[in-house]
Chains A and B, each alone.
Chain A
Amino acid sequence: MKRKGVIIDKSLHETTIIVVDLLNAEEILTYLFRENVEGEFREFRDILKQNLRIKDKYCKADVSNKAKNVYEMRFTKSGKNDRIYCQELHTNKKRFIIMSELFEGKKSQDIPKKIKSRLETIGSYEYEL
């Protein structure tokens, strides 16, 4: 079954479109609105909308071929190591960044099997926008 995404933000010329997964929207937006996260999210939003390449902040999760369209936003400024996993789609010269799932408190550089499997699941999501 296709998942629903809600378009919440767009770059000036609508080449980059930020979307949030409808089912996880409440959890994700509540997290983004936390006092120590909001400012960092503003940076992510502008990095994406201005099409900047800052891989320490936003990069491919790169765990397997099944998750090749999965990217991660790395929230580190609050002293924690949180992630929002996103699916990135390119169509009609537009780049859709769909914030799919929040993962709080990543502890090590390794990707445990459980997360790998979550990322592959995110990679398999089909969205209706």
Chain B
Amino acid sequence: MNTNYNKPDEIKSFYTSNFLSNKKTPNEVKHLAQMLMYRFLSEIEKITDERKIVRKDLAKQIGVSASYLTQLYRGVKPLNIETLAKIELVLDFRFDIKAIEKSLLEVTDTTEFNWNEEQINNFIQKFSCKDGFWIYKNHSKSNLVEFNKMKEVDYLTFIKTSNPQNKLRIA
């Protein structure tokens, strides 16, 4: 395909329409699976780099070949859970797994939540009590927009009517 452009706007437009469109491709699941593998592999690489463990030694310890590990890192072979467990065992660490709603990952990407120090202090002051302050986990972006607008009395009503499982106190 000839893109045939040389102006920044055309380049951005070409990139956006071809690489950033929200279309779900048939390979979407495959891509997500690959990225999930890379997230595990990246953590392993950070640890082995920190401890100066070479790939050959790690491979030997978990009973696979170094080229198998290379294939994993190149995304040629899929990573299986048993291999992960072996790596956890020989390197003596645990993966700390958390599920985060996608909407929460996006929350600080909005101007509303690009808070300065004063806004953060106001938020803490508004929602603090003698033992600390309340925050909500598993809340949606729209909840956070509402938080920002709330007065203390509204917030207390909100607490009473919300799902208690979503309430988390930071002491």
A residues touching B (Cβ–Cβ < 8 Å)? 4, 6-9, 12-13, 20, 22, 25-26, 29-30, 32-34, 38-43, 45-47, 50, 52-57, 74, 76-77
**Chain B 92-127 interface 0/1 with A at a Cβ cutoff of 8 Å (1 = within):** 000000000000011011000000000000000000
With A12-B109, A25-B6 already in contact, the answer to whether A56 and B31 are too (CB < 8 A) is: no
Bound Cα distance from A22 to B3, whole angstroms? 13
Across the interface, do A42 and B76 meet the contact criterion of CB distance under 8 Å?
no
Residue in contact with B38 in the complex, picked from A4, A13, A32, A52, CB distance below 8 Å = A52
Interface size on B, residues (CB 8 A): 36
- Interface residue SS majority, chain A: mixed
Bound Cα distance from A38 to B1, whole angstroms? 12
Bound Cα distance from A32 to B19, whole angstroms? 10
- Interface residue SS majority, chain B: helix
Is B68 in contact with chain A by the CB < 8 A criterion?
no
Across the interface, do B8 and A6 meet the contact criterion of CB distance under 8 Å?
yes
Across the interface, do A9 and B31 meet the contact criterion of CB distance under 8 Å?
no
Cβ distance A99 to chain B, nearest Cβ, rounded Å: 11
Instruction: Point out the residues of chain B lying under 8 angstroms from A52, CB to CB.
Output: 38-39, 41-42
The interface centre, meaning the residue of B15, B31, B34, B39 with most chain A CB atoms within 10 A of its CB, is: B15
Interface residues of B in 52-102 (CB under 8 A from A): 70, 73-76
B residues touching A (Cβ–Cβ < 8 Å)? 1-6, 8, 11-12, 14-16, 18-20, 27, 30-31, 34-35, 38-39, 41-42, 45-46, 49, 70, 73-76, 105-106, 108-109
Across the interface, do B12 and A56 meet the contact criterion of CB distance under 8 Å?
no
Cβ distance B72 to chain A, nearest Cβ, rounded Å: 9
With A56-B70, A56-B74 already in contact, the answer to whether A29 and B15 are too (CB < 8 A) is: yes
With A29-B3, A53-B45, A77-B74 already in contact, the answer to whether A22 and B35 are too (CB < 8 A) is: no
Output the nearest chain A residue to B73 by Cβ-Cβ distance: A56
Residue pairs across A and B with Cβ atoms less than 8 A apart, 23 shown, are A6-B11, A8-B11, A9-B20, A12-B105, A13-B109, A22-B11, A25-B11, A26-B6, A29-B14, A33-B1, A33-B18, A39-B27, A43-B31, A46-B31, A47-B35, A50-B39, A52-B41, A54-B38, A54-B45, A54-B73, A76-B74, A77-B75, A77-B76
